[in-house]
Structure 1
Amino acid sequence: MCSRYLGFFLLVWFPGALHAQSAALQCAAPSLDHGNFVPVKETYSHDSKLTYACRNTHKPAVEGWWAEIVCQHGTWSHTPRCIEEKACIPPTIANAKYTEASEGWYKEGHIIRITCDKGYEHKDNIATAKCINGTWSSLPMCEISIKSCRAPPKIPHAIIVDQGYQELFLEDAEVKYECEDGYSTEGSHKKTLFCLAGTWTEGPMCRSSSTSANRPLFIPIENCGTRPNVPNGVVVEEHRMYLKFQCNSFYKQVGEDTVSCYNDGSWSKLPVCEDAFCVMEPGHYDRGLDLSVTEYIKEGETKYIPCTWPDYSVAVHCSNRRITYTRCCTTYDHHRGTCS
């Protein structure tokens, strides 16, 4: 008997509760002076989108001449507002702060003053901007201070500990290095670098613990004389204690990318830049392909070379320095994967 009444009560109560919950998620139509919005309704359900624009002499208080708001759990994503065309919306200035207007926009003639974040400084000593006819005049910028440091140097056989990744370090910041297992530096396993006047102090050189007694010590690279040459590679970073190489395009690196100087005046082992491309020489190929110039294809790359017939091409793929290519097909067939 009780269960029968309970079931009846739930049938009556649930629809009412669900209706109340649905109503709570709805948004009322917003008010918008000097503007219009579509679609026009009395209420809007959750996730509904509403587009609005402003009439002559006014503009939305956001970027662009029209804007969109979304109903989220009974609240609009932002309050639509039309402001005078000569007013300014808040500017976006990286690595800086300034006093925000309580209305969310600034009247013509208003002047803002920015404060750069720690580690940054005003570029060209410009710290203010003025709203003129709806646009900010000469927006100030914050650039990295000459006393701050970029990312710390990479040290062979060492890792950074107790420090999360960051792009900028303030003056006097410190970074702790730890040698990999089997390596040490000057009898220790750890060393700390400091950011001083925009430059990192000299880093540790981690040497193999098992052979450190027989291995020459590293010294500044200026003691090794002529810089080493890595065919098809270039120096991308020069440090007091090492050179860092990078292979050119179409080549892959084998071995360590950093080179150091031993105290006997010799360089440590150089990296090697191996070929990482395929070559198709000029000539006639089967499947309707004629080449008048040499084609180079990067390792792992697929290149589309025109056939003798208009709007047809061959897909040439380079893998392990070996070339495979399809028959002549249209772009549509290539994208469908039906060309082989």
Structure 2
Amino acid sequence: MFLGSLGFVLVLSYAGELHAQSSPKDCQAPQLEGGFLLPQLEIYSHGSRLAYACNTGYRPPVESWWDTSECFNGSWTHTPQCIDENACLPPNIPNGKCDPSPEGSLYNDGSVVRIKCDEGYEHKLSATATCQKGAWSDLPSCERASTTSDMTDGDSTRSPIFIAVDNCGSHPHIPNGDVVQKSAMFLRYECSAFYKMIGPKTVMCYSDGTWSPLPTCKEAFCKVDFDVDKSSFIQESGVIFLKEGEVRRVQCILPRYFSQITCMNGKERVTQCCHFWDHENQRCS
């Protein structure tokens, strides 16, 4: 009888241990200098996601004014970080690489890096780039090196030859985009707010007077018209626009109740009016 009871206790204990081992772990709030977390909690449950933004003079280490991270079994998918807004991320050089930064993963304002092209490729501009207030100036490109067969008359596979951009006439018009940097050999474009660039940021002039492939600016926002789609429980009025991935809260008629709007893949998701703590604990749909 005693052995039977002992076995029953051991089985329960072992089952509890297995359950504890299989349960995902929560995450401690990450430390973030120079920024703030949304929502601000001490403990985040497994699978929950937080957003973070940075104070004036700082920015996340991505090409956006905010970023997100997710709790996965006790660890964050990446540690939220705010960097100097004038620092540069490592440049993306197709078919090439740059010198590592002595400061770690970032390059300080004014840093000059040398670009080394992969085997079979060569520089078409300069071999260096300079970090200037968070952006790279005169970023080189690595193009396939010319060979004897490339230069044969009538050979359609010859490497393109770039010349000064003034030889191609007026700048190409990119709907919802504009030229933000011009050098002797290239134009750099950026899209307007709420638009995402598809294609190359840099445009160059071919020796035959035509432009290299142009980028396009694709819509990356959601539009919510509260005068048309308004719930009688929401105080908001008029039209608001949200950037792709943006999360915004709008006040409901009851104190400490609000609705949360999320813009994802060009479609908005609007929750019900829920209490503050229901949102914090992800109990509002």
Normalised by the length of structure 2, the TM-score is 0.47
Rg larger in structure: 1
Tell which has more relative contact order, 1 or 2 (C-alpha 8 A, sep 6+): 2
Normalised by the length of structure 1, the TM-score is 0.40
